[in-house]
Amino acid sequence: MKRSAKSTKGPALRPVTDTEVRVEYHTIHGYRRAYRIAGSGPALLLIHGIGDNSSTWDDVIPILAQHYTVIAPDLLGHGRSEKPRADYSVPAFANGMRDLLVVLGYPQVTVVGHSLGGGVAMQFCYQFPRFVERLVLVAAGGVTRDVHPALRLVTTPVAHEILTLLRIPGVVPVLRTGARALAAAPHVPGIPSGISPRRMLNDHEDLMRVLGDLADPTASSAFLRTLRAVVDWRGQVVTMMDRAYLTERLPVLLIWGEEDTVIPYHHAQLVHAAIPHSELETFPGCGHFPFHADPERFTRIVIDFIERNEAVVFDPQNWRTLMSEGQRPEEFTGDEETVEAVLEALEDERSAT
């Protein structure tokens, strides 16, 4: 179901004060993990993307905290969490989310995942279904191979040398200035709008913010380990599509920017087709960070979704039935082209190349 923005109108939302958003730490399995926490009530887990950190949610945590206990971790290897030589796979990140929730004493949560965090959120639902009440995927990774060409480049052997250049004083500011200039440049006739510098760099401020953090050697090392676990030179190597059917009873909301060049909007349509009961909210003209482009609309959508959908209660028998029967392609929705693309994505996942 694709919902319009009008359905999310309501009374004005008042952010809590900044002092109510706390950064706290717990050492789990010997690694110090940081997380932001605010508010009270039902738990809401926010999972950031690759190379990012929990501060990416700063615009929305104060509003969401009016209604929920908001927990926004720094994934291992990111932000203020430790950056060891460790397992940075999607299942390992999902394990880390489970461990943190156990330590904090929250047995059920609504999970919101952005980009890589969306893939982690989906994996968390698969590995620990008893913990999950609802699922919100925001420009989520792990749909098909398509991904921004720059991420493919960074998986190549020369990536380490490229990232070491960020440590040279002045390099990051120069890159930031260059990206800003290209993003503001007028359209050049003859260049397709889909690959114009303005469109490819529509998220330049956020991307440069993430890139700037990688000047730290331990952060860049953790970033490369994380990226190479999910992307190679051909694109994304981990998919959620083959297990999307397991969300049959789980309320699912998809939020995507229509101009996303990191994880294309087409992926939202594929997930929406593969999860027929899901809701899709589109942010026109927006790139990879819809919660930065319009945080008030984003929070209204999430709050409305939670209020309208009761928390699912895990049913072991239903889970067994779903896994025994497997995917049911005949239940995919959408036009013929979209359904065919979903089937191709599933077949591509099964291929050995």
Residues that are catalytic: 115, 260, 288
Helix (H) or strand (E) holding 285: none
Q: 121 near 112, Cβ under 8 Å?
A: yes
End-to-end CA distance of the chain: 34
| Whether the Cβ atoms of residue 49 and residue 114 lie closer than 8 Å to each other | yes
- Whole-angstrom distance, CA of residue 203 vs CA of residue 73: 23
Collapsing DSSP to helix, strand or coil, 322 comes out as helix
- From residue 227, alpha-carbon distances to 31, 205, 254, 315, 348 in Å are 20, 20, 23, 34, 20
Q: How far apart are CA 131 and CA 100, in angstroms?
A: 12
Amino acid at 48: H
- Those residues whose C-beta lies under 8 Å from the C-beta of residue 351, and which sit 6 or more positions away, are none
Q: What is the CA radius of gyration of the chain?
A: 20
- Residues with Cβ within 8 Å of 185's Cβ and at least 6 positions away in sequence, in order, are 197, 198
What's the gap between Cα 303 and its chain centre? 18
Pairing of strands 31-38, 279-283: unpaired
